[in-house]
Chain A
């Protein structure tokens, strides 16, 4: 049986051959993982061999099985509402929300530290293929404030709901951008309900590289979700996933 480090060697060699680059494969697991992630990030949405997927799925399912948090183990802060600090790709919940961009093919920058990048990396190459399929059918870029659903492939969650948030420059939030951020949350919840999803985890949409001020964004998120639950009568459980301690405090102040 192949070890995880062996699997990485296979995956790296396969993608290097595809992308016609020839570099020596490093020895350690950590270095190999970084090379693998970079190549996977750059890999276009083209057909991939069954063998690659078998090895990739074996690798990712083992890799993703470490440090999984069960949604069931979380305690609500309010009826149907949860706050959880951690890496959203380690949460076992029905759906997680990805902060995507207008191309909606996943982050293409090797090893970029954004949520879109790590979600696509850990879900596997199939995710970009499914996204490309959806985007080809749509025939144009994804507008801000809508939502699309895909499988989560190798992640512990079942589905990924992708949404494009508004970009804010110089912390100037116009009314339109506030409305659009609210629309992102609403569209994701509507799509989740349409698919009978009982639990969903939101990342803090637009607050990363998209520049939406964190406090303002959290207020929009909390208000929109509460209003949606009230108006729709939906029984869906909603997790506000935060990464840093600053975000955690913001959400705790809003909801507890």
Chain B
């Protein structure tokens, strides 16, 4: 594990990766096994909710199928936790090391900044992938089996939805990583990425009922996440392209500046 920066990063994050994965798994498992209860009670209660709030809470009919239920309760809600993981990793792997000055010790070795930047980023991709796919997708499947709701047709869609969760998490993680690479300040990277996540989530959520936010919604990564629902309609290539392109652009901007700037 200690042969590359990538391997060493995974090694030092092994415990936290396991904890995050198990936490996601346990959380999702609990939500999914509660499906029969929610199906009968909560679904009916939603009939009385105003239309404007259904963007947040979903329709009553969504709670009648495991797909609709997972879409709202797991994919729609777990994104907050996965973003926290992504932003924590994005701020700590590079800017965090610069703040603790262990990055300086690494940079005086005969290793290029490009290699450091890429290997740490790859480690971030792997950790978020393991935690999200292992934890969330694993939790859905493990929860669906005991309640007899595992259908072959929905498994693939659920994996796709977990994949989109990973892609959105990676977009915000990359934003934090890039700001950290540009500024060297972990705090700034965390505040900017966190604020952007909160603000754009609100914009996307309210855009359907406030026309003034419709145009702003296009700069929100949430606009390209699960709209339309991946579990219901499958992956949207346009959404994937926008999120991937934005993530790649951020990654390249961060790399370009990190290579050139002073490390104090």
Instruction: Answer whether A and B are interacting partners.
Output: no
Chain B residues proximal to chain A, CB less than 8 Å? none
Interface residues, chain A, with chain B CB atoms under 8 Å away: none
